[in-house]
Amino acid sequence: MTTPSHPASAAAAGGINSLSDTDRTRNPNSESSTLQSYQHLFRPGFVHRRLYVDEQIFHDELRYLYGRTWLYIAHESELPQPNDFITRRVGGRPLIITRSAEGKIHALFNRCTHRAAIVCREPRGNAKGFICGYHAWTFNNEGHCTSVPLRQGYGKTFTLASTNLQHVARLDSYRGFIFASYSADVPSLSEHLGAAARLIDQWLDRGEKEPVVVRSGSMPFLVHANWKTIYDNAGDGYHPPFSHESMLKMFARRYGDVDMNYYGSDFDKSPMYSKNLGNGHTFLDQRPEMHKLSAWKRQHVMPGYEAMEKALIERFGETRALAMLDTATGSGMNLNIFPNLLIIGNQIQMPEPLAANKTQLTWFATTREGAPEEINAIRMRMQEDFPSFGEVDDSANFEACQEGMAYVPEMEWIDIRRHHDTEVGTPDPADHLWREPMSSDLHMRTYWQRWQELMNAGATQALKARGESS
Ligand code: FES
Ligand SMILES: [Fe+2]
């Protein structure tokens, strides 16, 4: 596991020293390799384009990275009732996530133990069990096989228990966020989350602390780009005034001095910052600007907002109503939890890798259970805002980067140098975690270090296993 460190050592850090020199020094553009070493794909402040475009590396990521760390799979509020289930792909693997009649959460591979067919083909529902559509093997929502048609054909030694659906190796949750690992050989979830847990607490405990509900609507995007391009952007505090210029200008023209205008000047001099939380997790904090005045008062207008504000003031008094409205606005937090949980504003994003150049990015809106109806209505209007006006800018950039990386092999390196050697980083006096100005590429240097640790360990293990079996 990594501990937060000075980023100068991060991107350059290799790790797989057990592989041959020939392998380490081979042409980084070579797409044919049997021995996997990744060290030659990193230079201080740069990463190689193949890390984003090479299908073999993508395949290795599914095995060595997604197969060997904790992954966010769902939020408990998506399964509110006994026997609720959802299906989704996480780290490439199709899963059924269920809540049993007793209320216990299970995560099962959605893969029939017979001929491997996807057992449950519905996105969500409520069911005590699942019947595979191919030969009707039947499983309850805890994964036990309960019947096999014409069972006598399998002979006397056959048992139903031997054909249960397979559970993921590890399952745990942190304050409603459910995580799974496909390998048993991982540290505890709390060790994995480390300093990120405290930021999850801050995100959950805003305002009046009503429980967060994630089954509030979701918006899937199919993006023709590598999953890491999306991960890069979620922690990128450099791009907003440039990528989202048209959106910001439109807001300013129509509504005047509103949210995000603090990007108008040299925002590296602002108190906003980027922080290394360790284990590949990072945090971009816009709260020092966004919440220094009333975040609600700085929001642009939206349909019905005056009537909703008035109704809340009448019911709760001005001070409490305005405090509640402040917390209905975006959280001002971009929390990247490596590799597949992005908490942005009031929303949760899950990037699901489909191919080296294809990712499904799903935005989940959130509401607060028990909060006044007006607060949740305002939350929803705001959560519709950015995906509609801003995400299109980001998606265009994801695909533009992918195109440049894929089609110009003459230019091999991707620049992640911002604030790499400006020596303006400093440990945060509050928690001693390393932080740099808002526009830093710290987040990329940080997760690439974790990427290398996982990938190199996975490759080393695979080589060892191959050696032992040959
Ligand atoms: S593949 Fe599922 S029952 Fe045959
Ligand atoms: Fe953006």
Of 188-202, 384-398, 419-433, give the lowest mean pLDDT range. 384-398
Ligand nearest to the CA of 163: 1
Ligand nearest to the CA of 117: 1
Examine the pLDDT at 121 and tell me if it is beyond 50: yes
Question: Which position has the higher pLDDT, 297 or 13?
Answer: 297
Tens digit of pLDDT for each residue in 423-451? 999 999 999 999 999 999 999 999 999 99
**CA–CA separation, 306 vs 377, rounded Å?**
13
pLDDT value of position 31: 46
Give CB contacts under 8 A, 24+ apart, made by 319-327.
Answer: 322/294, 322/296, 322/297, 323/207, 324/207, 324/208, 324/371, 324/372, 324/375, 325/294, 325/296, 325/375, 325/378, 326/207, 326/291, 326/294, 326/295, 326/296, 327/206, 327/207, 327/208, 327/375
| 153 CA from centroid of ligand 1 (Å) | 15
> How much of the chain exceeds pLDDT 70, in percent?
90
Question: Which position has the higher pLDDT, 247 or 139?
Answer: 139
CB 204 within 8 A of CB 175: yes
Question: Which position has the higher pLDDT, 108 or 292?
Answer: 108
Confidence at 1, pLDDT banded by 50, 70, 90: very low
**CA–CA separation, 111 vs 94, rounded Å?**
7
Tens digit of pLDDT for each residue in 18-32? 333 333 344 555 544
Q: Is 137 in the pocket of ligand 1 (CB under 6 A)?
A: yes
Average pLDDT, whole number, for the chain?
Answer: 90
Question: Which position has the higher pLDDT, 89 or 29?
Answer: 89
Best CATH choice for the domain 195-448 from the list 2.130.10.10, 1.20.1730.10, 3.40.50.800, 3.90.380.10: 3.90.380.10
Strands 367-368 and 212-213: antiparallel
Query: How many whole angstroms from its chain centre is CA 387?
Result: 16
CB 107 within 8 A of CB 73: yes
Residues 6+ apart with CB under 8 A from 21: none
Choose which residue among 135, 160, 165, 166 to substitute to test ligand 1 binding: the one with the highest number of ligand atoms within 8 A of its C-beta: 135
Ligand nearest to the CA of 345: 2
Domain residue spans of the chain: 71-173, 195-448
In b/e form, how buried is each residue of 282-297, taking b as 16+ CB within 10 angstroms?
bbbbbeebbbeeebbe
| 137 CA from centroid of ligand 1 (Å) | 6
**What is the phi/psi pair of residue 421, to 5°?**
-135, 30
Q: What pTM value is reported for the model?
A: 0.91
Give the homologous superfamily in CATH for domain 71-173: Rieske [2Fe-2S] iron-sulphur domain (2.102.10.10)
Confidence at 390, pLDDT banded by 50, 70, 90: confident
What are 385's two structure tokens? 């805002």
What are 108's two structure tokens? 């099962």
Confidence at 404, pLDDT banded by 50, 70, 90: very high
Tens digit of pLDDT for each residue in 290-310? 888 888 887 777 778 889 999
Question: Which position has the higher pLDDT, 36 or 185?
Answer: 185
What are 372's two structure tokens? 């006044």
